[in-house]
Amino acid sequence: MTKRSHVTAFVLALALAGGTFSAAGTAAQPTAQAAQPPLENLALHKPYTFETPYPRDSHFGPMEDAHADEGGRQLTDGVFGGLAFSDKAYVGKLWQGYRTFKLDLGKPMTIQDIKVSVLQDVANGIYFPEEIAYSISENGKAWRYLGEVKSALPTTEKGPVKQTIAKTGVNTVARYVAIDIPVETWLFIDEIEVMGTRDRSGGKLKPNKAPKPPQGYPRAGSRQAGGIRNEVLIYTGEWQYQPSDWISFTKEDFKPYVSYVNRDMKRKDFMFDGFLFLPYAPLMDGANYGPTAGKPTNKAHFEQFLDRLFRDGYELGALNEAVKEAKAELRNKRYEAKVVIAIPYPRTDQSDFGDVDGDGISENLNVKEVGEAEALKNRLKVTKWYVDEVYKRWRAKRYSDLELVAFYWYNEYIAHQLSALDHQLVKQTGDYVRSRGARFQWIPYYFARGWNDWKDYGFDTALMQPNYFFHANAGPDRVSTIAQAAYANGMGVEIELSDEALTNESMRSRYYAYLDAGKEHRFMNRSLNAFYQQVKTLWKAARSDKPAEREIYDRTYQFIKGRYNITNAQELDAWQDEVWQDEVWQDEAWQLEGQEAE
């Protein structure tokens, strides 16, 4: 995605008036023009479809019904809305990937301009789409891709404000129009127009192919994935309840993550090979590592996270010892524990971050105070300082059994509503991470802003959160939808669970829906996988003497090893007995994994 230009006062005024912004590279106009028939809206009162390519989400679908398209012709009725989102002229769409608008003009006509009128009202969660893609066809089968048109106004413009995002100068004969619009929160549209003439005076349509994103999951164990196959998220941070050190990991805490253990907590095999360390967001002083909650974090908070990570008896030090013990006890010594460390978000409302470059001046990251360009420069200073600090501490520790392979972008969406240059910060940070020899990783939430542009933003790998576990009204097809969207965009899928799965059968079934989808959609064996847990959920499951709770741990292990296909607890017990009677199985499993990695 190209760098956004600064919006001039003229452009802003034009947008407020509902102006149209033309795409670059539009058709040139002849110097001498014969009398041309006036352009008219060829789409007026025409029926259309406006749908997501995935099944309707049972959680978000009913929410958008509050702003439904009445009669299926509201977007071509010629009625424009005002600046209030409650205006009945608007049709609202909520998340679920993107929407494809398809229109049949009835017969081939000359199309000149295709216009989409949209609203932005940040306070109510309504945003302009980052870009809109346009295509036309004469027969509905062979299509000409006309390209994307970027939003001319940034999402930092709070609004309410309107603009028309248009593909102009088409001058081509076509009957069908298709428009792809990303929906990454609320999308509000009041009208779609196809301007042209009812003749065939335009140019002949020449079909072409739209560019496709990289397809397929990020390959497990690949260089792109930092060599990781299955990664577990490990949080560390302050905790106001007892025990106060709950969000910390000791060597014994890591034991059932590094190794698969039986019910007697004896090691039987290796388990996770990737460990993503993240800060627990809220801090006791009211600061928060998130982008907007609480008070903004500063240099001392970033250092506090690293101080916790690099303790000898906890986190990285504890993981190193747990790996050392496991390798001494288990027969296969080829196991490698790979570490990923989160980069906290340098917040755009922080005016006094602290001095990171030794010039005696505290870095001001506040976009409103220093402007976009200066804030970007200072925020990049922070991320570079942080990466350097991680490497300095890592070298000092000389861990014998850990490998630092990647950094992780902590914020789960590209925050263009906070900074129009947020994507540039991410991209340049990724470039710096790679210059130091590591990979750059990201796990956005469900269809979060920027999810399908992850590669343009400089990430080496990205996985998407289905959030099925946390949305009570979502159906199990949510995970399948995310698996399909992820595969189609070169991403992986995050697997999610919390402590509720231990005691609530319904929530346990939700967790197993992720594992089922992994087998069905084949990200179980093929993809880099990441497992989110509520601090120590899998640790609790491993230690539990309750069969239903312990089953969570055992099924997770089966999934990691690519052998997940058990449907009930009795079969699970039989499988365990069979596996551990065969002492040769470990070596065979590792030989298989080594062949797959190669």
Length of the chain equals 598
Contact 492, 538 (CB under 8 A): no
CA–CA separation, 527 and 522 (whole Å):
8
CA–CA separation, 140 and 352 (whole Å):
57
Q: Is the pLDDT of residue 415 over 90?
A: yes
The CATH class, in words, for 11-22+38-197 is mainly beta
Numbered ranges of CATH 2.60.120.1190 in the chain? 11-22+38-197
Digit-coded pLDDT (tens) for 271-301: 999 999 999 999 999 999 999 999 999 999 9
Q: Which residues have C-beta within 8 Å of that of residue 340, sequence separation ≥ 6?
A: 226, 228, 231, 274, 275, 276, 277, 405, 406, 407, 408, 441
In CATH terms, the fold of domain 230-593 is: TIM Barrel (3.20.20)
**Would you place residue 214 in the very low, low, confident or very high pLDDT band (cuts 50, 70, 90)?**
confident
pTM confidence score: 0.88
537-564: average pLDDT? 96
Contact 219, 527 (CB under 8 A): yes
Digit-coded pLDDT (tens) for 162-212: 999 999 999 999 999 999 999 999 999 999 999 999 999 999 999 998 888
Q: Is the pLDDT of residue 533 over 80?
A: yes
Supply the mean pLDDT for the chain. 90
CA–CA separation, 108 and 197 (whole Å):
10
Digit-coded pLDDT (tens) for 510-529: 999 999 999 999 999 999 99
CA–CA separation, 145 and 177 (whole Å):
10
CA–CA separation, 118 and 132 (whole Å):
11
Numbered ranges of CATH 3.20.20 in the chain? 230-593
Give the per-residue pLDDT at 527. Answer: 97
Cross-strand bridge partners of residue 420: none
Digit-coded pLDDT (tens) for 385-406: 999 999 999 999 999 999 999 9
Give the per-residue pLDDT at 584. Answer: 35
Give the per-residue pLDDT at 565. Answer: 84
> Residue 424, Cα to own-chain centre: how many angstroms?
17
Digit-coded pLDDT (tens) for 3-36: 333 333 333 333 333 333 333 333 333 344 556 7
Secondary structure letter of residue 126 according to DSSP: B
Contact 99, 52 (CB under 8 A): yes
**Would you place residue 578 in the very low, low, confident or very high pLDDT band (cuts 50, 70, 90)?**
low
408-435: average pLDDT? 97
465-481: average pLDDT? 95
Digit-coded pLDDT (tens) for 24-68: 333 333 344 556 789 999 999 999 999 999 999 999 999 999 999
